[in-house]
Each structure stands twice: as C-alpha cells, then as structure tokens.
Chain A
C-alpha cells in the first residue's frame, strides 16, 4: 500500500511524532510504501503530481495559503483515504488562532510592527526584481481545517497525537489494507479526558481562577477544583492524560467531546462556575474570578478556532 505523508500549515512536530512509534515504525515500513514525505526526503510538488495514485494520505497542518490548498486537493485526488493528522489538520490548531485577525493585520504585524523589525515590508504575491518575476502563494483570509477544504475520512487529533493514538492509526491502516472500512472516524475516546483522569475530585466548585504560574498545583487533585483551568471535561480522551500526569492542565488538543455543540462555549459554561462566596461580594465584583482570564479566545479555542461555532456568528 502506498502512503503519502505531507505537512501544510504546521510546526513539524506532527511529522516528528510519527517517529514516536519507535521500533514499531519498522512494521509500518514493512507493510506500507511511503511514496511521498517531504519532511523526511527531498520531494517536490512535481513528484506528487507525477504520482499516479496512492492509497492513504496522512496530512498534518492546517490550510493557510493557496499553495497548501492546492497541495491538499492534489493529494485528495490521488488517494482513497485521507487522514487528518494532528490538531491543526483536524480543527485548525494553533495557527487557527490567526482567525481573530484579518490577513492584512497578521502580515503587517509580522513583517512591519514587530519590535525587532526596521523598515519592514509586506511580502507580495508577485514581486518584480531585476527583470524577474518572483511569486509567493497567496496568504488566504482564514485558516481552515482539512475538512473545510476537502473530504476527510479519518481524524487523528493531538498536538501532536500521542503514541497510543498513532498506534491506533497504524492499526487502522492495517485494517484498511485488509479492505476493511472501520466506522470510527475519530481516533480518540468518545468520553472526555476526565473519564481517564487519575486525579481526585471533591465535587466542589472551583474557589477562584488561578493562572498556572500563580500557585503550585497539587498533583493529586482535580485541576479545575484547584481553580486551575483544565479543559479535560470538554476534551476527548485518548491521549493517555500526558499533560495531566506532567502536572499540566489540559488545553484541549484532542478536540471537543462528540456531543458538545462547540468547544469554546461549552468550555465557558463550566469555567464560569469558578469563584465562590459571591454572596459576600458587592455586585460589581461578582464576576471577578473569571475576569482574571486575560485571553478568553486563546484559552477556549487554543486548538479549534476555525471550527468555532461562535466565530461563525460573524
């Protein structure tokens, strides 16, 4: 079976994560022929175009530029099964946070306004120089997840996906090789991370909101009940609670639980529980616990802003 691995708007971590398979990667190589993997070997778009057909594509990264869009469509045409790999491919990921701003604002910020820039210049799609015409792909208005551009068959969430999730993907690929078509579209748990979380819960409302640097988190107790915002309750499990075990709260890279309407707003619903003893506060200070959150969108849509139904309201 022929496999394409490609990256779009991505940090490269997803490609590296495949190596987390360790020795199991040898099985992958035994069973599958990797015909295109630009991160690992020097492939060019022409090589992709030249490919007649492949079976499976594993694509990480979101779609930000015209080139990425073209690349993705090209891949879709070549393969039977497209796997969105990583949070960017599944939900837009960290680059998706760019959707708070227009493309002009982003380019201006990056190439002109940053403190380290002097006499900045915004890159143009076409630049004429010394009689030559230099071209760049178009910087599109919005970041999109893969399924907003083409049809996606399977989703492997995570930033990056954890080793167990990648192993699950290998199992999926082996099944596909046998001609099966597994129904489970998202390679993560249908339960939230809380279902797997080893921490102790007292079943109390969070007394306040503590930013992670403000307190030393108790390693045994539920983060949320300590006032540290952990989004495990709205996030699919399946990651193996990696962050939780490293005493870091969940930020939601596995995406929303299946029945939630929207990641961010559902997150708000429970975050708003924080802050007790309001009866003793003057009315003006009732919301003070949540007022400590400096960047609401950055918190609730860290990995999924392009998929935000709130964003759709605009």
Chain B
C-alpha cells in the first residue's frame, strides 16, 4: 500500500474490570475490502484485497478470532467480548491478503 497503514479504532466498554467480568470490544479499521468480484471500466477484474483474518489476544492469550471473506463490508467492524482474567495488554491484529499486519492495542486493568 502506498498510504501508511490506517490506525484502527478500538473501544473497550470498561478500562477496569473485576476478574471474571465480561469486557466488550468494538473495533474498526479503514480498509476497502476489495472483493475480487468487481470489474473496472475496461472490464478487467479488480484483484481481491481484503482483511482475511482478525485476532484478539489478551496478555498473549488468544480470546477471539475471525476469518473474514470478501462479503464482509469495507472498513470491517468487529464486536465481541472476552473474560477478564488479569491486567494486561489487549492486542488486536488485522491481516491483509498481502500479509500486511495492522495492529492496535489497548489495556485492561483487572482487580
């Protein structure tokens, strides 16, 4: 990509949680999600370019993942929850067809 990797928007419904609480994550990243099914005006197929994988790790532990297909909307949006176990980093990763990784981070404090 010619342009720098877009900064994802991430929102946790709480910054502090008790152990065992559910934490809701909303995440969105700017991405065209080109389906590979469209043609340009000369009739040539526009090559597919999508985010095909998303993961969320909390302190290195995978808590949620998704494989995305071309029919997921542009600027893919994901909303999910995880169980708060300990204080730490929440790392979200979006993987593009070309291997590029977009990484976003937040933290959760667990008492």
A and B co-occur in one complex = no
